A and B are shown apart, each in its own frame.
Chain A
Amino acid sequence: DQQVKQNSPSLSVQEGRISILNCDYTNSMFDYFLWYKKYPAEGPTFLISISSIKDKNEDGRFTVFLNKSAKHLSLHIVPSQPGDSAVYFCAASGNQFYFGTGTSLTVIP
């Protein structure tokens, strides 16, 4: 059973607008969350993380929000750029990392 879910397989956004990618998890014991970005024919690369003791972490255009009561995290990209077009995986840490199924983001120039 999927412990980490990304219910939107794809998302299209205009360049310059905000991209919001969502992720839900089931295990309240998860204490660390990450987002990975994956381009075609490459492995996933680490993007941004957040500890369960925080509710927000920001790194340039990327911000991750964590809502522990809802077991929900989101990644905001502002402003979105064509180079952000990729598949984004969220992951939650227990004794290992559990990954979601990914959301394919397309930023339209």
Chain B
Amino acid sequence: DAGVIQSPRHEVTEMGQEVTLRCKPISGHNSLFWYRQTMMRGLELLIYFNNNVPIDDSGMPEDRFSAKMPNASFSTLKIQPSEPRDSAVYFCASSSGRANYGYTFGSGTRLTVV
């Protein structure tokens, strides 16, 4: 298995532009998570899906952030409009069940908003 695949690896965009991050979870995993890593807060959960349904989006910082999971093999995280404070590394992770098994993370997308 190729693991959790995220694209792009790096994204540099201008303030005000729309940014879309993509994730392909591990086949057979029924839970998908979007995290943001910052120095101050470490790994913050933004939103997670179970069987393609959003379960908890309380971590989404503002209405500028939205996430979708149209099918079991694809998810997007969109920021519109982007701001410099959104600059961070965004990770997608997937899981096959109870947390006992942990999550498998992708390699992340480093977003820089200038």
Min CB distance, A97 to chain B, in Å? 6
What's the interface size class on B, roughly?
Answer: 20 to 34
Complex interface: chain B residues within 8 A of A45 (CB): 105
Q: Is the CB of A96 within 8 A of B107?
A: no
Q: Is the CB of A43 within 8 A of B93?
A: yes
Contact residue among A2, A36, A49, A97 (Cβ-Cβ distance under 8 Å from B45): A97
Residue B42, interface by CB 8 Å: yes
Complex interface: chain A residues within 8 A of B44 (CB): 99
Secondary structure of the A contact surface, majority rule: strand
Complex interface: chain A residues within 8 A of B25 (CB): none
**Interchain CA distance A46-B108 in the complex, whole Å:** 15
What's the interface size class on A, roughly?
Answer: 20 to 34
A71-102 to B contact mask, C-beta < 8 Å, 1/0:
00000000000000000010101011111111
Residue B85, interface by CB 8 Å: no
Q: Please tell me which stretch of B14-22, B66-74, B96-104 contacts chain A, meaning at least 4 of its Cβ atoms lie within 8 angstroms of it.
A: B96-104
Q: Is the CB of B107 within 8 A of A99?
A: no
Q: Is the CB of B42 within 8 A of A49?
A: no
Min CB distance, B77 to chain A, in Å? 15
Known contacts A43-B107, A96-B48, A96-B99; 11 additional CB pairs below 8 A are: A2-B42, A41-B107, A42-B107, A43-B4, A43-B106, A44-B105, A46-B102, A89-B42, A91-B43, A98-B45, A99-B44
